[in-house]
Amino acid sequence: MKIGIMPCRSAPRGLKMFFGCLLLCLLTCMPAASQAESITPFVADLKDYAELSFALPSEVAVEPESIFEANYTDGRYVGASLLLNESRVYLYLIYPCEAPEAWLNAVGLKSLVDGFAPGLNQTVYSPSPLNVSDIPALWGQLNNQILVAYQPSIQTFSLTLINENVSETVVEYLLGSLQITVNESSSPLWPGYCAGDEVTEAVPAQAVIETAQAGQTEQAAQMGSEYNKEKVDEELASIKEKFDTKFGLEFAF
């Protein structure tokens, strides 16, 4: 299924180069690396709602922190936090009260993401395609975090926030092997929850977003007048030409 990426504002040079380099690694590094490295699978239950699994190189230190369940304005969610080589990753499985009735395109998925927590609408999305579990995903950067969103099932969506200190190799393996198997017979939305009961915003998600917002404001102030659109466009064109020549691919920045 094809999805169209929603037009978004021009990203700073550093973010565009980051997206290009990360996608390059996702396309080229995993097959070669998997032959030489020892891989360890990880499986965890997200309470009774889903099973989370992924695989990482054995030398990566994985430290589970917490599994939590909470309300947000438009529904409920269950989530997990863990450290990968001491850098934090959050994984959320989100149940909106107005659940999707079909697989969403990029616009529909972005609307759900924006409604999850204030500040997520500041994400700079990459126009380059990415699949998670063979399902089209949105991905981008929110200050110092990589954000990845997709639908593990029709009526849910998943949000992963990866600290940028996580190495490219670890990101490749995490996104390449990530599976969230939803238990369709279980839901955190108890009867009557979506009928108008008072809900409170989720502290774990909100804390992450507020931190990212503060960093993004500081980043924008530091960029100031250094941004030169013509120069950035020239550099991106050069990067694109190198990618096209080597891999026969087309990248839309």
CA 57 to chain centre: 20
Q: What was the pLDDT predicted at 206?
A: 55
Other C-beta atoms closer than 10 Å to the C-beta of 147 total 23
Q: What was the pLDDT predicted at 195?
A: 84
Q: What was the pLDDT predicted at 250?
A: 36
Question: CA-to-CA distance for 189 and 99, rounded, in angstroms?
Answer: 11
Does residue 3 contact residue 105 with C-beta atoms inside 8 Å?
yes
Question: CA-to-CA distance for 111 and 104, rounded, in angstroms?
Answer: 10
Q: What tens-digit pLDDT sequence spans the chain (253 residues)?
A: 333 333 344 445 444 444 455 444 444 444 444 455 699 999 999 999 999 999 999 999 999 999 999 999 999 999 999 999 999 999 999 999 999 999 999 999 999 999 999 899 999 999 998 999 999 999 999 989 999 999 999 999 999 999 999 999 999 999 999 999 999 999 999 999 998 655 544 444 555 555 444 443 443 333 333 434 454 445 444 444 443 443 333 333 2
Q: What was the pLDDT predicted at 118?
A: 83
Question: CA-to-CA distance for 72 and 204, rounded, in angstroms?
Answer: 10
Q: Which residues pair with 71 in a beta bridge?
A: 76
Instruction: Please give the C-alpha separations between residue 124 and each of 144, 148, 200, in angstroms, as whole numbers.
Output: 11, 11, 27
Q: pLDDT tens digits, residue range 114-172?
A: 999 989 999 999 999 899 999 999 999 998 999 999 999 999 999 999 999 999 999 99
Nearest to 93 by CA among 174, 196, 181: 181
177 contact partners, CB below 8 Å, separation of at least 6:
41, 53, 54, 55, 56
Q: What was the pLDDT predicted at 234?
A: 52
